[in-house]
Structure 1
Amino acid sequence: MDHQESNRLASVVMRAGLILLESGAEIYRVEETMNRICRSFPGVSQPEAFVIRTGVMFSFHADDRIITRVVRVQHYDTDLAKVDEINTLSRRADRMSLEQMEKALDRIDRQKGYPWQVISLAGGICALGFGLMDGAGPADLAA
C-alpha cells in the first residue's frame, strides 16, 4: 500500500467513524467498525481506534509507516439508519475498493433524516400511548 492509498484509507476509516458517532452509535461500535474496515485492506496492520464522545483518534501501520488521524466531533444527531448502513458496509469492506467505499460513504452521508414534523408526530403518539397505559384522563391526554 503506497503513501497515497494509506492516506485515502485513513480518510475513509475516519469518515465512517465520524458518521457513526455523529449518528448516535455506541462508542464501542464505532471503534470496532473502524478497526474492521481498516483490517479488510491488505498491507495494513495494528489498527487502533480510540473514540470519546467529542473526538476520534485512529492509527494503523502500513508498510513501514504509522498513519494517524485525530478529529474533533462537533455535530450530534440520532440516525440509526446510517449506523446500520455503515455497519453493513464494514462487513463487506473486504470485497470493496477504496473508491467504492468513498462513494458508499458519500451516499450514506447525504441521506436526510425524518423531517421535524414526522418526529414531533411520532413523539406525540408515543406520549399518548404512555398516557393511556398510565391511566391518564381525557384532559391529560389532550395536554
Structure 2
Amino acid sequence: MKENDHSTLEIIEVCLLAGKIMLRSGAETYRVEDTMSRIAASCGIQNAHCFVAPTAIIFSMDGMEPTKLVRISERSTDLHKIALVNNVSRNISAGKLTIREAYALLKEMDQNDFTFPLWEQILAAAISSGCFLIMFQGKWNDFLAACIAGAVGFLFLVYVHRFIQIKFFAEFLASLMIGLSSAFFVKIGIGHQLDKIIIGSVMPLVPGLAITNALRDLMAGHLVSGLSRGAEAFLTAFAIGTGIAVVFTFL
C-alpha cells in the first residue's frame, strides 16, 4: 500500500481513531503509540510522530499536515476493543484492509458498546468478592455477606458515577457503603469477621489495571504517562481506604 493511494488526512484520521479507541479502553501508552506508528508505516509514511498521555493524543507527520490533538475525557476497561483494534492494525499491515475500510470498521467499533449488562457486572462483583474473602483466609459462613456487600458497593459506584462525574468521590461513597453494609451484616449475625468481609468486598474496586499499566509504562520509558496513571491509582486507593476508615471511626 503506497502513501499516494490515500489522502494523508484519511491516514491521520485512522491513526487517531485507533489510538483513541485503545486509550479509552484501557490500553497502555506504549501500545497505543506502537499501533498508531505501525498503521502509518503500513501506509508508506515512516516519519509519523505520536505522543500519547492518559488524557490526550498528539499526532503529526513531518512537513505534510498540521499536528492534530485528540482529547480523552473518559476511560474504562474494554480488552475486547483493544484486541479488535490490534486486529485491524495487523490487517492493514498485511494489505487485507484499505484505509477507508479500516476507518469504517473503527468508526463502527467506536460507536458499539461491548460491555456486559449491568446485572452481569454486579453478579461478577458479588462472586469475586466472596472468592476474595476465601482467598484471604476468611470463613465460608461469611461468603454470603461478602457477596452482598460487594454487589451493593459496585452498584452504588456505578449509579453515583452516573450522576456525579467525580470518579474518586464515587469510589469513596462506594467503599463507605461497603463498610456500612459489612458492619450491618456482622451486627445482625449474617457475618462474623468484619475485616475479612470488607477486604473481600472492596477488591472489585481496587485499581489493579491502572497500577499494572502504570508500571508497564514506566518500564517502557513513558515517564509522564506512568506517573500520571500511578497518581490516579493512588488516589483511587486513597478514596477506598478513606471510605472504610470513616466506617471504622464510628464503630
Bucket of the pairwise TM-score, normalised by the shorter protein: 0.7 to 0.9
Alpha-carbon offset, residue 67 of structure 1: 4.3
> Structure 1 93/67 Cα, relative in aligned 2: closer, same or farther at 3 Å?
farther
2:35 — aligned with what?
A: 33
1:103 — aligned with what?
A: 104
1 CA distance for matches of 2:124 and 2:142?
18
2:68 — aligned with what?
A: 69
**AA partner of residue 21 (structure 1):** L
User: Normalised by the size of structure 1, how large is the TM-score?
Assistant: 0.88
> Which of residues 18, 21, 32 is equivalent to 1:19?
21
2:57 — aligned with what?
A: 56
Contact 1:10 1:67 in 2 (8 A): no
Q: Which has the higher contact order (CA 8 A, sep 6+)?
A: 1
Cα deviations across residues 22-81 of structure 1 (Å, max 9, x unaligned)? 000000000000001111113x221111000010001124xx524421111111111000
2 CA distance for matches of 1:68 and 1:98?
20
2 CA distance for matches of 1:67 and 1:117?
46
Which has the larger displacement, 130-139 or 84-93? 130-139
2 CA distance for matches of 1:8 and 1:140?
57
Could you say what secondary structure the match of 1:92 adopts?
Answer: helix
1 CA distance for matches of 2:29 and 2:131?
31
2 CA distance for matches of 1:130 and 1:39?
45
How many residue pairs get matched? 139
2 CA distance for matches of 1:110 and 1:49?
24
Alpha-carbon offset, residue 98 of structure 1: 1.3
Contact 1:7 1:67 in 2 (8 A): no
Gaps of 5+ in 1: none
Could you say what secondary structure the match of 2:46 adopts?
Answer: strand
Q: Which has the higher helix share?
A: 2
Q: Which has the higher strand share?
A: 1
Alpha-carbon offset, residue 91 of structure 1: 1.2
1 CA distance for matches of 2:67 and 2:142?
55
User: Normalised by the size of structure 2, how large is the TM-score?
Assistant: 0.52
Tell which structure's C-alpha radius of gyration is larger.
2
Alpha-carbon offset, residue 111 of structure 1: 2.6
Identity among equivalent pairs (%):
31
**AA partner of residue 15 (structure 2):** V
Contact 1:58 1:70 in 2 (8 A): yes
**AA partner of residue 142 (structure 1):** L
Could you say what secondary structure the match of 2:89 adopts?
Answer: helix
1:133 — aligned with what?
A: 135
Gaps of 5+ in 2: 146-251
Which has the larger displacement, 109-118 or 22-31? 109-118
Contact 2:134 2:140 in 1 (8 A): no
**AA partner of residue 109 (structure 2):** I
